[in-house]
Amino acid sequence: MVKAKIREIIQETPDIKRLILELDKNMPFKAGQFVMLKIDSERFDKLIPTRAYSIANAPNDKFEIQIIAKIIPDSNFSQYLDQLETHEEIEVQGPYGRFTLSDKDKTTEVTLLGAGTGVAPLVGIMEYALQNNIKSHLIYCDKTDEDLINIKQFDELTQNRKITSKILTTRDKDSKRIKCHVTKEFLKENLPTRKGLFYVCGPLEFVNNVVGYLEELGIEKDNIKTERYG
């Protein structure tokens, strides 16, 4: 277990916060892994269950991890996380998980497919890929323009041609993005490649559907990595 100080809190969307945590000692991790966060029981005078969150940045030597958290009223954990302020401490357990990209993965190209907060580990994987000259493609969907997470970075990287991206919204008739769900037909027309590794993360139904579509489109099962939320 590592102690961490909350260095910065960023309001990503109306119900999503990004926490930048400064660790008291370095915690080696792979891009895409997750940690368990623990809030001291004395902070709210009650025992709060630990909660898993994906690390939303690439491995670094800055003793830093970033967490993207959806704040849900009356939840067992995030309602308390929401009340923490900068400079407060939180405990970090981990890292865990095999939804990763590292130097052991011999690939020159990755396609990242995410929905909702499932985009969090994809951010870390994308950053690692960029650092290691691995071509990156992103397909990301959320409900509305207002709900899109990390969108400024995605747009800047796309405009600078460092990644390719397709950003979709599913419930926003006034959206400036692509207005549709990630369907087999959409992927058939918009997958930028059939090569390399494919990372799929999000709600259970989204992940299961997308994996099925990819396999039907000829992507080898061994080249698809998944992380299911909820």
CA atoms of 201 and 216, how far apart (whole Å): 18
Structure tokens at 221: 């099962």
Q: What's the pLDDT score for residue 229? A: 87
Q: What's the pLDDT score for residue 61? A: 87
| Cβ neighbours for 159, distance < 8 A, ≥ 6 positions apart | none
pTM of the model: 0.97
Q: How far apart are the first and last CA of the chain?
A: 24
Total domains, the chain: 2
Helical axes 151-159 vs 119-131, angle rounded to 10°: 40
Q: What's the pLDDT score for residue 230? A: 66
89 and 115 inside one domain: no
Burial 132-169, CB ≥16 within 10 A → b, else e: eebbbbbbbbbebeebbbbbeebeebeeeeebbbbbbb
Q: What's the pLDDT score for residue 139? A: 98
154 and 196 inside one domain: yes
What is the separation of C-alpha 89 from the centre of its chain, rounded to a whole number of angstroms? 23
Q: What's the pLDDT score for residue 159? A: 98
CB 168 within 8 A of CB 182: yes
The boundaries of the domain holding residue 38 are 2-95
Task: Tell me the CATH number at 15.
Answer: 2.40.30.10
121 and 33 inside one domain: no
H helix or E strand, kind and range, residue 171:
none
125 and 201 inside one domain: yes
- pLDDT tens string, the chain, 230 residues long: the values are 899 999 999 999 999 999 999 999 999 999 999 999 999 999 999 999 999 999 999 999 889 999 999 999 999 999 999 999 999 999 999 999 999 999 999 999 999 999 999 999 999 999 999 999 999 999 999 999 999 999 999 999 999 999 999 999 999 999 999 999 999 999 999 999 999 999 999 999 999 999 999 999 999 999 999 999 86
CA atoms of 174 and 189, how far apart (whole Å): 23
A 10 A CB-CB count for 36 gives: 16
Residue with tokens 């997958």: 191
Q: What's the pLDDT score for residue 80? A: 98
Residue 84 carries which DSSP code?
Answer: -
44 and 142 inside one domain: no
